[in-house]
Amino acid sequence: MPEALVRFSGPVRCQRGAAPLGLTLSGRAGAPPGEPATLAFSGAAPPQLPATLTDALIERLDARRYRITSAQQAWDIEADALHVHIEVAGPFYAALPPRRVPLAKRLLWRVVLTLAASRAGLKLLAALRR
C-alpha cells in the first residue's frame, strides 16, 4: 500500500538535474500550511514529467519506487533515495515567546537615541566614541 510522503498545495516546480539528484520538486507543502518544501530524488526523472505540476502528491510505493500524482496523472520514479526538506522556521519561532529585553539595555538605547536626536547629543556621542 502506498505511503503518502508530501502533499503540495498549489504550483510545484520540477527541475531536472545531473546525477546524483536527477529530479527536484519545489513548492509549498499542504501541511504545515504554506511552508516551502523541496524533494530531491536520487534517480532519473520520468521523461514525460512536465516542468510544473499543481497540487502534487508524492507517495512511496516500496524501498526504491515513488509515485508523483497531479491532476489525474501519475508518474512513477525509481530512486535510490529521497531527500525531503520542509521549512519549519516560521511555525517554530511562532511557537516560542520572544525574549524580553533587559531593562538596562532598554534604558541605554533610550538614552542613546534621545542624544542622537539633537546636535549637542550627536557631538557628545562622537566624543564618547573616541
Q: What is the mean pLDDT of residues 101-110?
A: 95
Same domain, 35 and 76: yes
At 72, is the pLDDT very low, low, confident or very high (cuts 50, 70, 90)?
confident
Q: Which structural domain range is residue 15 located in? A: 3-92
The burial of 103, by beta-carbon neighbours within 10 Å (0-12 exposed, 13-18 middle, 19 or more buried), is given as exposed
Same domain, 103 and 87: no
Same domain, 61 and 42: yes
The model carries a pTM of 0.69
Higher pLDDT: 70 or 33? It is 70
User: Which residue, among 44, 51, 69, has the nearest Cα to 12 in the 3D structure?
Assistant: 51
What's the total number of domains in the chain?
A: 2
Same domain, 76 and 116: no
Q: What is the mean pLDDT of residues 91-97?
A: 86
Residue 34 has pLDDT above 90, yes or no: no
Same domain, 20 and 62: yes
Same domain, 29 and 76: yes
